[in-house]
Amino acid sequence: MKELDAAVSKTQNYAKIYGQNLSDKQLFLRLISKNSHQFTEIKGKGSIKVTENDWENKFRKAKLFSDKYLRKMKGILMVGVTGSVAAEFAFKNEDIDLLIVTRKNELWWWRLYLRFFIWWHKIPHRKFGEKENADEFCFNLWLDENNLKIPASKRNLKNAMDLVMMKVVWEKDSIYYKFLKDNQWVKNYLATGYKERIKISRKIEKKISSNNKNNLMKIINKILFKGQCLYMQVINKQKLNKNEIDVGRAFFHKNS
């Protein structure tokens, strides 16, 4: 019981760093502990007063956008909402963070395609170096199906919390389940939340049906990746970290 009380206190204090009071359900999912607990053990320990905010409206907008456009892009396997919207603590002036998973060897192609697509359709999105604006989409996290495992240097409490809180808009080929299975390290921080996510995402695990055997696409993807690296180094004067920017992953979020 002492372990549970300590875990509850730690979780509540962590949430308060971001100004959030957690309900029973939120506390249960985000419980900081290597031990797994039942909801009945948590019930009544959360806050009754939960701050009203705009996260549900923003999630609906993300779903509408994703269903209307991203679902039609064959190389995209999953779209997830992250950040403050996923944390259920987003205010009207905040943007909407998205994580996108693509087929292997297609990440940089689809990223480029999406950049032109949202520019052409005048879809509000956050641009590099600019402040966030209300309801802009921020495409700051990209992974391909062969690079779902978060690098060891990024396996910390914050990223474990972000992974557990993430809200999947839609997925293909059971990719969310594969994403969770590839990141079992999260159990070291949030055993309860990880167990719950695995439970609701578990399906008959399908073999990922990547039909991408096109060597030309692989070459194009590498060229686009090299172009992105050159742009970041020369234009933006950024130092590249392979754990953040690689052929199969892109972490553009400063705090990721």
- Give residue 255's pLDDT band: very low, low, confident or very high (50, 70, 90): low
Is 130 inside a domain boundary? yes
Same domain, 120 and 96: yes
What is the extent of the structural domain holding 85?
55-184+212-251
Same domain, 129 and 11: no
Same domain, 124 and 231: yes
Mean pLDDT of 116-126: 93
Lowest mean pLDDT segment, chosen from 29-38, 64-73, 237-246: 237-246
Same domain, 35 and 101: no
Lowest mean pLDDT segment, chosen from 28-32, 154-158, 171-175, 225-229: 225-229
Same domain, 8 and 82: no
Domain count, the chain: 2
Same domain, 34 and 77: no
In this model, does residue 208 exceed pLDDT 50?
A: no
Same domain, 24 and 109: no
Same domain, 10 and 94: no
**pLDDT computed for residue 202 by the predictor:** 67
Same domain, 76 and 8: no
98 three-state secondary structure: strand
Range with the largest mean pLDDT of 84-98, 195-209, 236-250? 84-98
Please enumerate in sequence order all residues whose Cβ is within 8 A of that of 33, keeping only pairs 6 or more positions apart, or say none.
Answer: 3, 4, 7, 190, 191, 192
Same domain, 26 and 126: no
